[in-house]
Amino acid sequence: MPKNKGKGGKNRKRGKNEADDEKRELVFKEDGQEYAQVLRMLGNGRCEAMCIDGTKRLCHIRGKMHKKVWIAAGDIVLVGLRDYQDDKADVILKYMPDEARLLKAYGELPENTRLNEGIAGGLDEEDENNGDDYVEFEDEDIDKI
């Protein structure tokens, strides 16, 4: 039987969370970077994101963030654009929900971007006034059941 010479397994590595709860400085985009909203996760460290400039890009999650920062559909991320491939980008940073609200307040994100929804549908407003997805029963109907 081999000797265990390490300090622990994957659960020990999973416990390292580099002080996520403390406040960090808000990072704005620079040249060659763009804000994007994740449309869907594709697996293998990739996601499909709609950038603020209107282009849908295939984004690769950088290794520093992989398995440490969890990204879901609807999250606002900062992507680094590739000068040799316009349809691909690299996820540099994931914004926390309060940081995304601040970006929207500063005018960095457009007004039609939905921030607090789990699904990213904020860039095309086609389902306005369709919020009647519930069924309303009257008291007589409930008594019959």
Q: Are 71 and 38 spatial neighbours (Cβ–Cβ below 8 Å)?
A: yes
Q: Are 32 and 17 spatial neighbours (Cβ–Cβ below 8 Å)?
A: no
Q: Is the pLDDT of residue 129 over 70?
A: no
pLDDT interval class at 57 (50, 70, 90): very high
The pLDDT of residue 127 is 46
Task: Map out the domains of the chain as residue ranges.
Answer: 33-106
pLDDT interval class at 114 (50, 70, 90): confident
The mean of the pLDDT values for the chain is 79
Q: Which residues contact 73 (CB under 8 A, 6 or more apart)?
A: 38, 39, 40, 41, 118, 119, 120
40 versus 122: which is more confidently predicted? Answer: 40
Options 2.40.50.140, 3.40.720.10, 2.170.190.11, 2.40.420.20; CATH of 33-106: 2.40.50.140
The pLDDT of residue 52 is 92
Question: Which residue is it, tokens 């069924």?
Answer: 135
Q: Are 13 and 68 spatial neighbours (Cβ–Cβ below 8 Å)?
A: no
